[in-house]
Amino acid sequence: MIAFALCSVPRRAALGAHPKGAQTMLTHPARPGAKLVRTGILLSLAVVVASAAQAQTLKWHKKIGYCASPTVADVDGDDTLDLVLGTSGMLYALNGETGETFWHTAVGGDILTCPAIADVDNDARIEVVFGCTDRRVTAVDLETGEPRWSFRTRREVTSSPVIADVQGDGTQEILFGSQDGQLYMLAGRGGKLWWSKDLRAPVSASPAVADVNGDGIMEAFVCADDGNFYALNAKDGRVLWSNRVGIRNARSVALAPLTDEPRWGAFISAGVMRLMEAGREKRVWSFSGSGDTCASGSPAIADLNGDGQLDVVFGADDGNVYALAGLTGEKLWEARVSPRVGVESCPAIADVNGDGSPDVLIASPNRRLFCLDGKTGSPLWSQPLAYQTAGSPVVAEVNRDGKLAVGIGTEDGEFYLYACEASGQVLWAKARGDGRNTGAYPAARSFGKAMVGVPRR
């Protein structure tokens, strides 16, 4: 069940998409001559195979260990984008054009989080901040990989850290959750603890931050593993309100201004969605997919159909990818990418074929990377992968060649970078949207603009 409410604070091969409730049915996709039925239209397997044959050119691949959530930054200052990848026991910085290693830093566990990147201490040098199953959140120098500081919690950290100036005073803070049940905020300079809040359940999901009421102080939104959703004052950690989502182990939140006032939408990957403004909370709409569908992966936000309104797209535990209108909850389309296993990958959204419309990139547990038409959900291409993945793609123009590239890690430890056929706008480049992991659409859109052409650090 997916719900939306007004709030008080200001993994196997199957292709198909069908808008607005139409049903998809397939016969055996591995047999020659098999057919896919979509809203009364028969598509021969040859069409599906032809689509897959149009998959993108492999630029390079590298064995580094499983990377679930890659990100990009200009590591060496040459005005081109590079990859920063957390893996099992190691943090890597790789040349975006060649895949060569700039540096790697050993850590005491698995990096299951997406690294956040910014100058956290105002020293004119960029840091990489990441969480790890060694119970630590660590900051290292982007250019060299040298450690800057480390903060230890009582349990594993699987919540991606967020870097934000929560007080509007020019200093950076870092927010993240831990399996010890705490939501933490650290000072960017030195990693000093500002505050922690006991949410009484492990916090696997990543917080999202934005100033949703225009008071100059950011609010933080996060789901705890017991199914409770919290809104907090990010300056001091006070709980502004909390609500029962009703689904345990909810994934991360994404935020977007949905109206001109503005009213902000909080999209919770467990399936609950809320609209926030000054006022009281009430339910606006609810959505059900295939039975008791809920999202398996974190959501991404963009205007998919060009109507001027933001939409939300996510992978679900029924093997579908769903796109919904953010303000009304209307189902725009659904695409079947995995008939038996839930889709945990967070989508990236970009115009990868240069037609002026956004495309949705998402990994399926059936060993494929899909590119779906943002307007209809129809498959544009699918890239076979050598191994399964629940990881999320990253999309950027890494070498100013006029073509976007898509990176994805697989669970056998390989990381692949594919060149797309063109370069267009990037709307949601990676898991958590932007380089600071705020999970907020305005920051994701600004970050996406830097993914095309000459990047600026």
Low-confidence ranges of the chain (pLDDT < 50): 1-53, 279-280, 455-457
Cβ atoms of 403 and 412 within 8 Å: the answer is no
d(CA 209, CA 107): 27
- pLDDT value for 164: 98
Find the angle CA(133)-CA(138)-CA(144) to the nearest 5 degrees.
Answer: 125
Residue 417: in which H helix or E strand, if any?
strand 414-419
Instruction: Output the pTM of the full model.
Output: 0.87
- For residue 52, the SS3 value is helix
187, two tokens: 């000072």
User: Which amino acid is residue 442, in one-letter code?
Assistant: P
Contacts of 312 (CB under 8 A, 6+ apart): 254, 256, 265, 267, 273, 299, 300, 301, 323, 324, 326
Predicted pLDDT of residue 49: 37
CB atoms within 10 A of CB 316: 24
* pLDDT of the residue at 277: 60
Summarised one tens digit per residue, pLDDT across range 386-407 is 999 999 999 999 987 889 999 9
State the pLDDT at residue 56: 81
For position 405, what pLDDT does the model report?
A: 97
Strand partners, 269: none
> Which CATH code for domain 2-10+33-449?
2.130.10.10
Stretch (H or E) spanning 379: strand 379-384
CA distances 363 to 28, 171, 221, 369, 430, Å, are: 21, 36, 26, 4, 12
pLDDT at 259: 83
* pLDDT score recorded for residue 180: 98
Give the count of beta carbons closer than 10 Å to the beta carbon of residue 431. Answer: 27
